[in-house]
């Protein structure tokens, strides 16, 4: 009996695979098949059931209209370039400002207490106001002071509003990262005679920033989407362009098109953040 199974096992691992590898390979195939079948079942169900809804024909015409999509898509893509431009201007400013605010929030010396207080108020206030409100208040309020063109542009003040709002969030991310670096690293740096500034710059910050990179990528994704909020104060970026087409064609398909464009831009970034997070977890548990 036992010799039977042994010889049977002895034969099966072809091409030098271990018994464990053969087993794992079979288990993997099995779970792939189960996943594929259940996914197909769900897709088929949706495909059959959704068109049974009484309003389906109407929804199809006003949301999934191929003719409208092909007509509007190229112009919407070029409107998205404006989103990207605003994003790439805002992002570096946000990181720089956030880092400064986080460092101000961290100062301990009594003489510099006003800096610390400023950072605390800055972070608290800007994090407590909805981003869209900050955009309205700054985007309409500051040009309303009577600035002359081009300094009254909603492009400028909208971007400033985004930078202020996001730098408050990201300053908190940096601060968490800084505080997560173990006290023993600071002790070691101090015992070598490094000044507080050198310790921060060469020992604490590089480790802190590395630790929060996945969170930062997630905030970048949120920022790319929130650039669309600027459409409420003027700039004709993707969302605004889609709104214009919606009115023009009396059809919602441009919004679906805009959603598709955002999806294509953000999903790779989200997956990248997941990958970074998994990599860090693996490193930490090693």
* Among 6, 78, 198, 281, contact with other proteins (rule: CB under 8 A): 198
CB of 63 to other proteins, least distance (A): 50
Nearest Cα residue to 156 out of 96, 95, 90:
90
Nearest Cα residue to 134 out of 167, 177, 100:
167
* Among 7, 38, 195, 281, contact with other proteins (rule: CB under 8 A): 195
Question: With binding defined as CB under 8 A, does residue 109 bind other proteins?
Answer: no
Site residues (CB under 8 A) for other proteins, limited to 171-190: 184-185, 187-190
Helix (H) or strand (E) segment spanning residue 209 = helix 205-226
Question: With binding defined as CB under 8 A, does residue 192 bind other proteins?
Answer: yes
Q: Which two tokens stand for residue 141?
A: 């309020």
With beta carbons less than 8 A apart as the criterion, state whether 257 and 238 touch: no
Nearer to other proteins, 29 or 195 (CB): 195
Nearer to other proteins, 9 or 190 (CB): 190
Question: With binding defined as CB under 8 A, does residue 194 bind other proteins?
Answer: yes
With beta carbons less than 8 A apart as the criterion, state whether 98 and 170 touch: yes
Helices of type H across 50-144: 56-63, 66-106, 113-128, 131-141
With beta carbons less than 8 A apart as the criterion, state whether 135 and 161 touch: yes
Place of tokens 């977890």: 281
CA 181 to chain centre: 24
Nearer to other proteins, 76 or 178 (CB): 178
Question: With binding defined as CB under 8 A, does residue 191 bind other proteins?
Answer: yes
Q: How many angstroms separate the CA atoms of 5 and 2, rounded?
A: 5
Question: With binding defined as CB under 8 A, does residue 202 bind other proteins?
Answer: yes
Site residues (CB under 8 A) for other proteins, limited to 244-263: none
With beta carbons less than 8 A apart as the criterion, state whether 246 and 252 touch: yes
Number of residues that bind other proteins (CB under 8 A): 18
* Among 210, 259, 263, 279, contact with other proteins (rule: CB under 8 A): 210
CB of 184 to other proteins, least distance (A): 5
* Among 128, 193, 250, 282, contact with other proteins (rule: CB under 8 A): 193
253-284 helix and 56-63 helix, angle to the nearest 10 degrees: 80
Q: Which two tokens stand for residue 35?
A: 């996943």
Question: With binding defined as CB under 8 A, does residue 207 bind other proteins?
Answer: yes
Tell me the window of 9-17, 60-68, 82-90, 198-206 that interacts with other proteins (CB under 8 A). 198-206
Which residues contact other proteins by CB under 8 A?
184-185, 187-195, 198, 202-203, 206-207, 210, 286
């Amino acid at each position: 009996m036992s010799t039977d199974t042994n010889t049977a096992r002895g034969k099966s691992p072809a091409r030098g695979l271990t018994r464990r590898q053969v087993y794992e390979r079979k288990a993997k195939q099995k779970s792939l098949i189960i996943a594929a079948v259940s996914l197909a079942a769900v897709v088929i169900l949706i495909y059959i059931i959704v068109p049974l809804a009484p309003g389906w024909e109407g929804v199809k015409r006003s949301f999934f209209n191929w003719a409208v999509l092909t007509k509007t898509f190229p112009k919407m893509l070029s409107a998205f370039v404006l989103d990207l431009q605003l994003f790439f201007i805002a992002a570096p400013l946000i990181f720089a400002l956030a880092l400064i605010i986080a460092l101000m929030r961290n100062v301990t010396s009594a003489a510099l207490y006003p800096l610390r207080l400023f950072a605390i108020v800055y972070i608290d206030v800007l994090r407590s106001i909805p981003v869209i409100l900050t955009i309205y208040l700054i985007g309409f309020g500051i040009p309303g002071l009577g600035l002359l063109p081009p300094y009254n542009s909603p492009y400028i003040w909208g971007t400033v509003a985004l930078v202020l709002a996001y730098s408050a969030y990201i300053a908190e991310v940096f601060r968490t990262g800084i505080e997560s670096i173990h006290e023993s690293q600071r002790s070691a740096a101090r015992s070598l005679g490094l000044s507080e500034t050198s310790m921060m710059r060469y020992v604490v910050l590089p480790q802190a920033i590395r630790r929060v990179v996945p969170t930062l990528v997630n905030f970048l994704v949120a920022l790319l989407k929130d650039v669309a909020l600027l459409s409420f104060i003027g700039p004709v970026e993707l969302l605004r362009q889609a709104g214009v087409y919606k009115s023009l064609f009396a059809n919602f398909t441009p919004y679906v098109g805009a959603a598709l464009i955002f999806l294509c831009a953000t999903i790779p970034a989200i997956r990248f953040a997941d990958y970074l997070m998994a990599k860090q977890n693996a490193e930490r548990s090693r």
